[in-house]
Structure 1
Amino acid sequence: MSRIAARFEKLRAEGRKAFVSYVMAGDPDHATSLEILKGLPRAGVDIVELGVPFTDPMADGPTIQAAGQRALAGGQTLERTLAMVRAFREGDAETPLVLMGYYNPIYSRGVARFLEDAATAGVDGLIVVDLPPEEDDELCLPALAAGIDFIRLATPTTDDRRLPKVLENTSGFVYYVSITGITGAAEAQAEVVGPEVARIKARTDLPVLVGFGIRSPQSAEAIAGVADGCVVGSAIVSEIAAGKPVAEVLDYVRGLAEGAHRA
């Protein structure tokens, strides 16, 4: 059983929803980023999403774009991101870790080499936002063959004709984007999200998590209440961008996690 499947099984047994946090690798610098990464599970994070900085992050809003630019300016690379995963795994063999980013750095490294290195480092899943299902031969199917889950995004514009294609080779969980647009653009509304989550769950046995537009423990609780859990990214990255100490960032994450776990 994969770490992701094992984590959801554990959460179901405990009657809890999942809380997933996103941080950008190398932001605000490599050492601080690694310290935050290692602290996330102790702050209540069930699954970690680690962003891979890229020069043209078309799906990201200003907050995460700026985080990627800070990371790149500090020398963060795909290789250093994989090194962070290895360092994380030295002290944590259980928390699932998902890399989120774009295809270009993976393609530049070479898919076979990347998947071998990612699996060895301890990566459990991939979210690659610019590879549609029509391109599954490029990375999705090789990743599944390598034992790495390929997590797909569904959005408010993913209609009933498109949804089966999106779900076809998805594994781990489905990431439902609660709003149309870029990250950090609006606030998620549970009454709008709930019916969409139900529509997706009618087509798959995978957990459905909701991300985008969650900034407070109350919002995390409300959104997790209509899904299998929630994902918070931009709000956490904003705390890091404000220069807050690691302990304060993790306290903020802890509050969000407690909100999701109350659902």
Structure 2
Amino acid sequence: MFKHVKDMEYTVHVDRPDPRFANLLLEQFGGPHGELKAAMQYMSQSLGCNDPKIRDLLQDIAAEEMSHLEMVGEAIAMLLGPTDKVAKDFPAIHMALLSGGPLLTNSMGIPWTGSYIESTGDIYADLSSDSTAELRAKLIYERLLQQTDDAGVKDMVRFLLSREESHNFSFMQAIGTLQGKGVDKDFRDSQFSKKYMNMSTGEGDFRGPWNQGNGIQYEENPNEKYGGPAKYGKDRGADASGEVAPGYTDHNRNNPQYSQPNPSQGKPQSPTTMH
């Protein structure tokens, strides 16, 4: 259940109209990293989430993102100023002509779309996506901050930027409680989930926690070791534990040297066979 609380989360104040900046601010109203995208994404994810703790987190932040959409929209309307009569070179002419207020587009006029929403049903994957979304939104606000001298607008943008940091922190902490769950689990050929493939030649190879320690095996020349016909292990069979699904077979189109046995005939398949 939703309620209309007439007090805004943060009181928006604009010193003077600035249609140019109003158009830039549309990026956070109807853009791919904006407030509507965040609200819809977190709400959609929550509806498919069976973990009551994560569901509560997603819906709390989704509700706040709607309040941020209200703030950004209010600021855009105030920055536009009167639109009953505007000059030919009005910097936000599309808003003046169509609505006199914010449109669900980004700053380039591209309409908002549901394809912005990322919802997989896997808690670990979704929260990782959400954390990244907050960082992208923070980056946009940091750049917007450089494009206005309006003290009231800058204060609002700083508030929103700080809330993006807070949401990112919450998502990161929640991810920390899900280690080994969802897509964070080892999958199928687990010996390769801890290998770092050095695909570079020449000087300048660097080592760090991304390719050493934590059980990681560093492969200096993976093409020499694993290239050619696949030979790292026998196929487990369609109903084996850890298999993708019954009847699954590897494609051979990307490796013409590899001939995969046909379980039904016991004969190698032709390298040119397409599955």
TM bin (shorter chain) = under 0.3
Larger helix share, 1 or 2: 1
Q: TM-score under structure 1 normalisation?
A: 0.23
Larger C-alpha radius of gyration, 1 or 2? 2
Q: TM-score under structure 2 normalisation?
A: 0.22
